[in-house]
Amino acid sequence: MTENPFFRPSTLDYELPPFAEIREEHYLPAYERGMAEQLAEIAAITADRGLPTFENTLVALERSGELLRRVDVVFRNQSSSDTTDLLDEVEAKVSPLLAVHHDAIHLDRALFARIEELYRTRAGLGLDPESLRLLERRYTAFERSGARLGEAEQARLRGLNAELAALGTTFQQNVNAANRAAALVLDSAAELAGLSEDAIAGAAENARVLGHEGKYVLSLQNTSGQPALAQLADRSVRERLLAASLGRGIEDNGPIAIRMAALRAERAELLGHPSHAAYVVADETAGTVEAVSALLARLVGPAVANARREAAELARVAAADGVGEIAAHDWAYYSEKVRQESFQVDAALLRPYFELERVLRDGVFFAANLAYGLSFTERPDLTAHHPDARVFEVFEEDGTALGLFIGDFHARASKRGGAWMDSLVEQSELTGRRPVVLNNLNIPRPAPGEPVLMSWDEVRTLFHEFGHALHGLFSRVRYPLFSGTAVPRDFVEFPSQVNEMWMVRPEVLANYARHHGTGEVLPPELVERITAAEGFGQGFRTVEYLAATLLDWAWHTVPRGEEITDAEEFEARALAAAGIAVEAVPPRYRTAYFQHVFASGYSAAYYAYIWSEVLDADSVQWFEGNGLPVRESGEVFRRELLSRGFSRNPLESFRAVVGRAPETGPLLARRGLL
Ligand SMILES: [Zn+2]
């Protein structure tokens, strides 16, 4: 057997992981050795008999865990974007081990004593601002992880963390299985009336792949809403599709959600907070539960009123079909009709203008060139994690190599839903590494030989995820802890949302939105109508988002000891109590498939998207109104914000760009909530 490729640093350009050599059986041994190595490194730090110094403690800690980091970034991407049964098993084994490992470090009394001693004397250590911040952030992280607790409490904390980690993995795997099981199988093409020929062919191909030869399968996306709902003409098929979506996973994941909420409440209490939400936001830019609740409460009333106005408009159009009241499964369908009737926008007619390769090169990359001077060269000689994934080398305006960008754009059965960004190699001046970042999307594959045509939303997602990628690529920090996107969750969506603005900037749009067959530019008047139609959907979008946010909030503001017996009942009560229960607008995620909050680190933090959007809307206004050329604005945004990572307070970075604290006005205007 050849040596495990994780055991040594990669010798490839940018230390790109050696994907061609990595096999499934390498992960577990690499994890085990990686954790053992890091514990040995920690033991070496605490064995030092001399006085603790910044160098022998904090810097040593930053340098520790190299092997673990190498395997972990690769594994997390692989198990998300191309999983197998074996990888699922490895994940189920590893996630509780990682929780134990995290605790072994953060509850190490000798290590904490050194950090505490340095923290106490920090004013006299002569540290530069980023080093001082490293010390403060590490101190806070240890404290928040229970370093100050007594033996019995720490033992209980270890138990809670291990159980939560295992439950989170089970929750995610249940979501994946439930998504597959709930796919809608249809017998005839007639039932798919309304879908494009391509989409019907896609459903037939999907059926063949999934073992339903001769039938048609609509697979589920992870959100409550499903794209096909906007086109399916048969009301009963729409009803079945949405019911399959809303009902998935509750038997298995309802009890897990209840258990996780209880464990998180208990852990929060142990750590001195009244609820899990209070514990989480204390370390976010929001700071307090009250601050988050106040923003959400301010948005609910106007958003619901907005959605009700939209419902009345939908009902007017639906009356022609004999539909009396708009149900949840009618919303997208009649929204599409309103868009066509009132705004003359037909989603199907847009797709030919959004061909993936053009959107990527002449849109996303072009905008990055316009604002930041970047250029991109594909590197087919470098192997990524999947044959679909493509590697690009990114260059500065002056030709300096900046890092690698990997794009894995297509949906496949082995990939989880949604779109996300990962860092495979973190930029750090301490380690001398340059960034390798990765975007995963779920754009359906067309029939063989056909171009990849995207929806408006998919184009937006591509710009969005690339915004995260830029945040990683532009990182210019000393310590890995602060690198790139390692900022609070309620800040991290801000740079990615800002990047969405390029999608509709006239000079960018005109460059990429061209008909794939004729080369014709997307007519400007159509763009205006799309923008107007976007405004129409804001009521729905804001309510479905806020409902999910308030659901997350309800699960994680429960105080310890409050008994929840039925997840669906809890959900219904929570939405009603928050004033966001609009029957025809289900939450974007229901409890059973809300993987953000039960499986991926966004518990009590789903509010982060709208919180970040305050900064986003405000910054977009700054970009548009500051009077600087685009390239100069980009440079300011990069220098003061994108490059800083978490090496300084993010709100300070915001102020350095915009010149003042964030204001909510632009967000309210954008969402039609004034
Ligand atoms: Zn994002």
pLDDT digits (tens, 9 = 90+) for 286-344: 999 999 999 999 999 999 999 999 999 999 999 999 998 999 999 999 999 998 888 88
Query: What pLDDT is stored for residue 530 in this prediction?
Result: 84
From residue 196, alpha-carbon distances to 185, 213, 228, 351, 471 in Å are 18, 20, 10, 11, 37
SS3 label, residue 12: coil
DSSP code at position 648: S
For ligand 1, the distance from its centroid to the CA atom of residue 25, given in whole angstroms, is 31
For ligand 1, the distance from its centroid to the CA atom of residue 495, given in whole angstroms, is 9
Alpha-carbon distance of 461 to 440, in angstroms, equals: 10
For ligand 1, the distance from its centroid to the CA atom of residue 560, given in whole angstroms, is 31
For ligand 1, the distance from its centroid to the CA atom of residue 438, given in whole angstroms, is 13
Q: What's the token pair of residue 65?
A: 């865990």
Give the number of residues written for the chain: 674
- Is 662 within 8 Å of 613 (Cβ atoms)? no
**Where do we find the tokens 């708009």?**
326
SS3 label, residue 11: coil
Alpha-carbon distance of 462 to 454, in angstroms, equals: 10
Q: What's the token pair of residue 463?
A: 């710009």
Alpha-carbon distance of 588 to 603, in angstroms, equals: 15
For ligand 1, the distance from its centroid to the CA atom of residue 464, given in whole angstroms, is 6
From residue 340, alpha-carbon distances to 232, 345, 411 in Å are 15, 5, 28
Q: Strand 436-443 and strand 401-410: pairing?
A: parallel
For ligand 1, the distance from its centroid to the CA atom of residue 420, given in whole angstroms, is 6
SS3 label, residue 437: strand
For ligand 1, the distance from its centroid to the CA atom of residue 465, given in whole angstroms, is 6
- Is 372 within 8 Å of 267 (Cβ atoms)? no
SS3 label, residue 634: helix
HSE-up of residue 120 (Cα within 13 Å, Cβ side): 7
For ligand 1, the distance from its centroid to the CA atom of residue 665, given in whole angstroms, is 22
Query: What pLDDT is stored for residue 525 in this prediction?
Result: 84
List pLDDT tens digits, range 170-201. 999 999 899 999 999 999 999 999 999 989 99
Query: What pLDDT is stored for residue 536 in this prediction?
Result: 87
Alpha-carbon distance of 500 to 280, in angstroms, equals: 27
Radius of gyration for the alpha carbons in the chain, expressed in angstroms and rounded: 25
- Is 311 within 8 Å of 325 (Cβ atoms)? no
Alpha-carbon distance of 549 to 536, in angstroms, equals: 21
For ligand 1, the distance from its centroid to the CA atom of residue 548, given in whole angstroms, is 16
- Is 137 within 8 Å of 62 (Cβ atoms)? no
Catalytic residues: 465
What are φ and ψ of residue 127, in 5° steps?
A: -85, 145
Q: Which amino acid is at 101?
A: H
Residue/partner pairs of 623-627 with CB below 8 Å, 24 or more apart: 623/498, 623/501
Residues whose CB is less than 8 angstroms from the CB of residue 626 and which lie 6 or more positions away in sequence, other chains included: 633
Query: What pLDDT is stored for residue 529 in this prediction?
Result: 85
For ligand 1, the distance from its centroid to the CA atom of residue 664, given in whole angstroms, is 20
Query: What pLDDT is stored for residue 1 in this prediction?
Result: 55
CA 443 to chain centre: 16
Q: What's the token pair of residue 660?
A: 């003042």
For ligand 1, the distance from its centroid to the CA atom of residue 467, given in whole angstroms, is 8
For ligand 1, the distance from its centroid to the CA atom of residue 497, given in whole angstroms, is 7
For ligand 1, the distance from its centroid to the CA atom of residue 164, given in whole angstroms, is 24
The list of the chain residues with pLDDT below 70 reads: 1
| SS3 readout for 479-497 | CHHHCCCCCCHHHHHHHHH
